[in-house]
Every structure is written in C-alpha cells, then in structure tokens.
C-alpha cells in the first residue's frame, strides 16, 4: 500500500489523523475538509525540511551535527520564523543573565537618583 | 478534542526521518534540536490552521478547504512551499477521485453479481435449512443433558 502511493504521489509520512487532532484542538475551528488536512500535513513536512536545512546551513564549521543553537539562530534571524520565538528561544548563560539583571538595576538606580535630584532642584527654586 | 497532551505531538520517529532525509548523510541531530523541531512542527500546524481559518471566515465558509491552506501558507511567507504543495494537492485530488471511481466500479460489479446470483438462489436456501437443522440438534442435545442432570439430582 505504501509503495503504491509512493509511485502515485509524494507520500505524506506524517499521520493525517494526528494532524487533524492538532488542528481540531484550535478552539475556533468547526469543520475541517480532508484536503485541507492533507495540505497542512504536506506543508508541515516541507516546513520541517526547511527548518532543518536552514539551521544546518547556519553553522558552516560544524558539518556533522545539528545543534539547538543553530535552530535558535535561524528562528532569531528569519522573518517568517518569528512565530517560533517563544518555542525555540535563544539560550543565554547564567553569567550573561546576571550581568543583564545588574545592568538593569544600575539603570534603575541612576534614574531614581536623577529624579530625586530633579525634585530637590524643584523645591529649591 | 485531544484526550491527552501527547496527542498534540507529532510522532518522533517520523519527524526524525524527515530531518534525516533533508540533511546530508551522516549528520547527527542532537536530541534537543529534534525535540525543538518537533515542537515547532506542532506550532506550525496550529498557526497554519488559524491562518487558514481566517480565510475561511472571510469567505463565509464553515469548512476549511484546500485554497484556505494555500492562502495561509502564502500569508505565513512560505511561498517557496507553494509549487510543491500545489503539485501534491493535484496528485491528492486525483488519487481521491481514482479511489472514488474504483469504489463505484466495485459497487456496480457487486450489484451485477447479486442480480446474477438471484437466479441461482437454491444452494443458499439449502444452507439455511441445514443450519436450522443443526440448531435443532444442538437444542435437543442440550435438553438431553438437562434430563441427565435431573436424573443425577
């Protein structure tokens, strides 16, 4: 059966039933035509290929592995992958994170002192 | 509706195969990367569905059809998929039609057989008779057993 469909058209390897379940889990959907399930399945397959190849191209030095960082990089760079920003976020190390937090606090402190100073000037005048 | 949360994931083996086929031979895919792609694929399905649904609503239709999905893919800026998608769509439609035709053909030949078979209905009648006889036999046997039981009591 699988061989037969392989010669006829490009076989969808993603299970249509599962795709339909995911589609139906969206609240606003009422009816889903069979051909739309097929097309979403096929588009998802193309999407996976696209994502994998783009991420692989990202890092020309390491040609033997596809790492998470490559994916995050692609998602960060490509406009049409922006919807994945929360799904595949860029990772940062704790040291950088702490530095960012400290920087923010320093800025806050500065702003506070500035506003205090301004207040004092106001009362003086 | 999905019963379990795992029902919203796509099967790992299939995802892995698609990734492997897309990349050159011998490339390793880290576990983290694989699960990230899998999550991304599920989100892609939802995003495409929601976009397609917007087009269906615009067209005042209640059922998502193929054109809605094509329009959604375009809207999502994945134009590079369109040619392949349309080709697959044509193939799918043809396949569905062939299936339908084949089913109709089968139905017709079946009906034809039925029409021919009505003339030679005698053997089936005999079959029914023998089966009722057999049923009668088992009944009497059971009764006999019952009697035996009574005697033993």
- Per residue in A97-112, pLDDT (tens digit) is 899 999 999 999 999 9
Provide the ipTM.
0.73
Q: Furthest-apart CA pair in chain A: how many Å?
A: 90
* Rounded average pLDDT over B47-66: 91
Question: Is A120 buried (19+), middle (13-18) or exposed (0-12) by CB count in 10 A?
Answer: exposed
**Closest residue by Cα to residue A50 from B75, B92, B85:** B85
CB contact under 8 A, B88 and A39: yes
- Give the residue from B16, B17, B30, B44 with the most A CB atoms within 10 Å of its CB, the best one to mutate: B44
- Give the residue from A15, A20, A46, A90 with the most B CB atoms within 10 Å of its CB, the best one to mutate: A46
pTM score of the predicted model: 0.71
Angle, alpha carbons B100-B101-B105 (nearest 5°): 120
Q: How many CB atoms lie within 10 A of CB B123?
A: 9
Helices (H) and strands (E) in chain A — how many of each? 5, 2
**Closest residue by Cα to residue B27 from A11, A59, A78, A43:** A59
Q: What is the DSSP string of A13-64?
A: -S-HHHHHHHHHTSTT--EE-HHHHHHHHHHHHHHHHHHHHHHHHH-SS--S
Residues of B in contact with A27 (CB under 8 A): none
pLDDT tens sequence across A40-93: 999 999 999 999 999 998 877 777 889 999 999 999 999 999 999 999 998 888
Q: Are B9 and A19 in contact (CB under 8 A)?
A: no
Q: How far is CA A7 from the centre of its chain?
A: 35
- Measure the CA–CA gap between A96 and A63, rounded to whole angstroms: 28
CB contact under 8 A, A80 and B77: yes
Q: Closest partner residue to B36 among A42, A80, A88, by Cβ?
A: A88
């Amino acid at each position: 059966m699988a061989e037969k469909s392989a010669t006829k058209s490009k076989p969808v390897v993603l299970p249509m039933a599962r795709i339909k379940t995911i589609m139906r889990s969206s609240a606003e959907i009422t009816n889903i035509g069979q051909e739309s399930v097929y097309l979403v399945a096929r588009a998802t397959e193309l999407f996976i290929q696209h994502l994998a190849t783009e991420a692989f191209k990202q890092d020309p030095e390491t040609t033997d592995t596809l790492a998470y960082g490559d994916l995050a990089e692609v998602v960060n760079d490509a406009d049409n992958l922006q919807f994945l920003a929360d799904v595949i976020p860029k990772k940062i190390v704790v040291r950088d994170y702490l530095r960012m937090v400290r920087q923010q606090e320093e800025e806050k402190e500065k702003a506070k002192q500035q506003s205090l100073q301004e207040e004092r000037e106001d009362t003086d005048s | 509706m999905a019963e379990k949360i795992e029902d919203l994931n796509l099967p790992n083996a299939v995802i892995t195969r698609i990734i492997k086929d897309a990349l050159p031979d011998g490339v390793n895919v880290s576990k983290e990367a694989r699960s990230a792609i899998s999550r991304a694929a599920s989100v892609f399905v939802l995003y495409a569905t929601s976009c397609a649904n917007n087009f269906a609503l615009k067209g005042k239709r209640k059922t998502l059809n193929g054109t809605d999905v094509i329009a959604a893919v375009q809207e999502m800026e994945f134009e590079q998929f369109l040619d392949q998608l349309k080709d697959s769509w044509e193939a799918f439609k043809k396949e569905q039609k062939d299936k339908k035709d084949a089913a109709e053909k089968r139905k017709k030949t079946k009906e034809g057989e039925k029409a021919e078979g009505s003339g030679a209905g005698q053997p089936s009648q005999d079959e029914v008779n023998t089966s009722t006889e057999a049923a009668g036999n088992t009944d009497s046997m059971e009764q006999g057993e019952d009697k035996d039981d009574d005697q033993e009591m």
